[in-house]
Amino acid sequence: MLGIFYLVLCFLTGFCIIETVFKNFGALTESSFYGKKINISSMYLRLPAYFVTGVLSVTWLLYIFCCIFRNSSNPIGIANAIVMTAAAVFSGVCMFFLIKRRGNIFKGEGKKITTVEIIIITAVCLLVFYLMFKTLGILDGKLKIGLSVFSDFSTHLSMMRSFSHGNNFPTQYTFFGGEDVKYHFMFQFLCGNLEYLGLRLDQALNIPSILSMILSYSMLFVLAVKLTGKKSIGYITLLLYTFRSSHALFEYILTIPKGEVAKTLYETVEFIGSTENENWGLWNLNVYCNQRHLSFSLIVMLLLLVLVLPVFFEGCTRLLLKIKEINEKSVSENTRKPFFIEIFIKESLLSKSGWLIKDYKTAVFTGLLLGASGFFNGAVLIGTVIVLFFVAAGSDRRLEFVIVAGIAGILSLIQSKCFITSQLFDPQIYYGFLSQPKNLAGAINYVWKLMGILPVVLLMQFVASKGPRKYIMACFSMPMVFAFFVSLTPDISVNHKYVMMSIMLLDIFAAVYVVGLFEKKDVWYCILGVLATFFLTATGIFEFYIVARKNVDERAMRYAYQDEIMEWIWDNSDRDTIFLSANYYLMYGGYGNSLILSGQKMYSGWDYFSWSAGYDVGARNEIVEKIYSCDDKNRLYKLVEKTDINYIVVDRVNRDSETYDLNEKTIASAYERVFTTDSGIDRFSIYDVSKKIDYDIDLESMDIYEDPEPDFDFIDDWDLYGDLYEDYYDYIDDYEEE
């Protein structure tokens, strides 16, 4: 199948690039950053590096050719023919010379994988496969989307389909058609291309998501072992990364009446936690089910840290030796020992070693990789830059970091200029993140509730750590600090990804503390280690149970992944077509789901998605309300002519609107109805605004339904799904008040 072949080509292209740029790439897994022999299999590093390097290279090249051929009838088909052929030729030729010159570089690497690691790899694979296919799949011939992810999948699947069944080049945001795309979309483009190449919709999203998440575990393991020199710490890091630390479970248990704890826990299907929006599942494994593009970019972040941290530790070693030399000289000459900051300024900030470049290739490669990842996940790029900035401050060879930042910045700027016509971010000082109240005490209380005993464990480990490790812990915490002080988007909740990045990296040092307890080989310390592990993972383990319960097949949302509405839209749309519709997201019922899953652009989709991405939804909603409620044909013409709308959709959601009174008679008298299905209040109609009606028509024969009292019972199982809808309505109400 061509979709699988595309992914294979990505791996092969990444292999060729990595092994050409780095002559001995596998040697990075032979020793820790401190020089201690670790000898883990290079496959843990190579496979993630090949994957992200190949995907970024091939997919960006594919996108560029799609834009070049955007005026053709099949731009993505032409682009695939060119790029896949080129990638196959490049990979074949390059592999021939690499193998001829270096032989089998993987020889013996499989034997380095221990039995314990095989068990862990198997567990990770089973976990990831379960999460991905449980939240998206095919069930009884319908597209099945898990209850914990269906709303956000509205935009993900819509963007995917805009590429696989559309010509969204240059790309627009499908939920705010006619304007630029502020939301990172390249992972959706990758998945959309896989569907175009023959993979079923669920497979096209699940397969790269599974690869990304499994390989992110692999890269985190490599970073943990290189930082600490111990595989056991790598194992515990993966455990802590999977199951988060929080007081949420214990607070929840305290609210349950005595005698009903076991029964209540067994029946719980809603996310727990007392901090704001924690009931969204912001902090647990559901994030990786929902935000499928996150794991891919985390691989980039972790790979870059593996590549650049040797420079930091090289500088630390040189500086520590210099400090020792200066101190010994001070003692022998009976002079004052200089303060550390004095030595650091003189021997690092003001020395050639602190700035000179030794390795152009790694700097250029990491800069290109980081810059290319921006529209796969912009938050991870920002988080990575934040960490690298502070790492660079304490490193030698700072100009190499300048090269990394310069190349990444230039690539990000080029992408932003190509995709975004308005301002990308609106940076503002916003203290406290989601804490209440917005002060130091509120922030501390929020972190304590959210992260459980993890901050205490990290604080104790920070005190116990020596200089370089202390500094690395501080660097890893900087994305979290950023989340508590800066807002880049209207929705501060999206800063949770910066917090999660820091927690992922700091979990390494929490694992150091836990493993240290067990290494003391004292029964009381071992008991303390067991208790620490329990409290660090209990909430996360229970939340995995909630994710599993929430996404059982019986509760899954079901949609047609191809129907007559989608077929009509695909046959009658081009890249500039925009549909005016109600504020849709994937709902339990209604024909609006078909418009979303067609991938065609909507004039104003669900408010929250567009608002949180930085679009002016208020202005558009005002136009939407005027058009749907207009009672004068000529005024309707003028309203529509001020927009880029091509079709007007009328269905039950419009008829049940709380914000305007639908006047379908005016629309029907002004424009030709070109598609319709069902009848009465459930009738779904599409009107073509290019086909104006200048004659009298019999509206009664068109079944124009008018209900004087809106009926909100169109969702059959409101008790099952209603709370999710209410959460979104409440959020929009809060936004409108602000």
pLDDT score at 717: 46
Query: Helix, strand, coil % (nearest 5) of the chain?
Result: 65, 5, 30
**Of residues 590, 595, 651, the one with CA closest to residue 162:** 595
Whether residue 189 is predicted with pLDDT greater than 70 in this model: the reply is: yes
Name the phi and psi angles at 674, rounded to 5.
-105, -10
Please give the pLDDT value at position 723.
52
| Cβ-defined contacts of 90-98 (< 8 Å, 24+) | 90/13, 90/16, 91/9, 91/12, 91/13, 91/15, 91/16, 94/16, 94/20, 95/12, 95/15, 95/16, 98/16, 98/19, 98/20
pLDDT at residue 712 greater than cutoff 60:
no
Tell me, rounded to whole angstroms, the distance of Cα 517 from its chain centroid.
34
- Short-list 387, 408, 409, CA closest to 481: 387
Mean pLDDT of 590-614: 90
What is the C-alpha to C-alpha distance for residues 232 and 236, in angstroms, rounded to an integer?
6
Q: Given its phi and psi angles, is residue 226 left (phi above 0), alpha (psi -120 to 50 degrees) or beta?
A: alpha
pLDDT of residue 730: 53
Q: What is the pLDDT of residues 393-445, one digit of tens each?
A: 999 999 999 999 999 999 988 888 888 776 666 788 899 998 988 888 999 99
CA distance 299 to 278: 25
Between 622 and 182, the more confident residue is 622
- Token representation of residue 642: 């001020």
Query: Is it the case that residue 320 has pLDDT exceeding 90?
Result: no
Name the token pair of 75. 């731009």
CA dist., res. 60 & res. 468, Å (int):
37
273: left (phi over 0), alpha (psi -120 to 50) or beta: left
Q: Identify any residues that bridge with 601 across adjacent strands, giving them in sequence order.
A: 578
Least confident of 152-166, 320-334, 362-376, 403-417: 320-334
**Contacts of the segment 626-632: beta carbons below 8 A, 24+ positions apart:** 627/580, 627/667, 628/654, 628/657, 628/660, 628/662, 628/663, 628/667, 629/660, 629/661, 629/662, 629/663, 630/663, 630/666, 630/667, 631/663, 631/666, 632/666
pLDDT value for 423: 64
Residue range 366-380: mean pLDDT, rounded: 94
| 378-393 helix and 360-372 helix, angle to the nearest 10 degrees | 150
438 by DSSP, 3-state: which? Answer: coil
Residue (of 155, 131, 120) closest to 212 by Cα position: 131
Domain spans in the chain, listed from the N-terminal domain onward: 1-107, 292-424, 562-737
Per-residue confidence band for 485, with pLDDT thresholds at 50, 70 and 90: very high
Task: Say yes or no to pLDDT of 594 above 60.
Answer: yes
Return the C-alpha torsion angle 241, 724, 428, 437, nearest 10: -80
**CA-CA distance, 280 to 250, in Å (whole number)?**
18
With a CB cutoff of 8 Å and minimum separation 6, the contacts of 181 are 171, 172, 173, 419, 420
In whole angstroms, give the CA distance from residue 148 to residue 97: 48
Distance CA 576, CA 396 (A): 51
Q: 309, 431, 433, 425: which is closest to 366 by C-alpha?
A: 309
| 23-40 tens-digit pLDDT | 889 999 999 998 899 989
Q: Which two tokens stand for residue 484?
A: 């508590």
Quote the tokens at residue 630: 């207009």
Q: What is the arithmetic mean of pLDDT over 621-643?
A: 93
Per the CB < 8 A criterion, the answer to whether 39 and 112 are in contact is: yes
Secondary element (H or E) of residue 611 = helix 607-612
Residues 6+ positions from 97 with CB-CB distance below 8 Å: none
Residue 486's SS3 state is strand
| pLDDT tens sequence across 399-411 | 999 999 999 999 9
Contact 530, 651 (CB under 8 A): no
Least confident of 110-124, 257-271, 707-721: 707-721
Nearest one of 291, 341, 77, 110 to 184, comparing CA atoms: 291
pLDDT tens per residue, range 247-294: 999 999 999 998 899 999 999 999 999 888 888 888 999 999 999 999
pLDDT band at 727 (very low <50, low <70, confident <90, very high): low
- Taking the C-alpha atoms of 191, 193, 197 and 198 in order, what is their torsion angle to the nearest 10 degrees? 40
Say what the pLDDT of residue 726 is.
54
Q: Which residue has the tokens 């700091």?
A: 506
pLDDT of residue 614: 81
**For residue 728, what pLDDT is reported?**
46
| 25 touches 45 (CB < 8 A) | yes
510, HSE (Cβ side, Cα atoms, 13 Å):
31
Q: Taking 70 as the threshold, does the pLDDT of residue 122 lie above it?
A: yes
DSSP state of 624: H
Alpha-carbon distance of 61 to 14, in angstroms, equals 13
- What is the rounded average pLDDT for all residues in the chain? 90
- Bridge partner residues of 671 (DSSP): 692
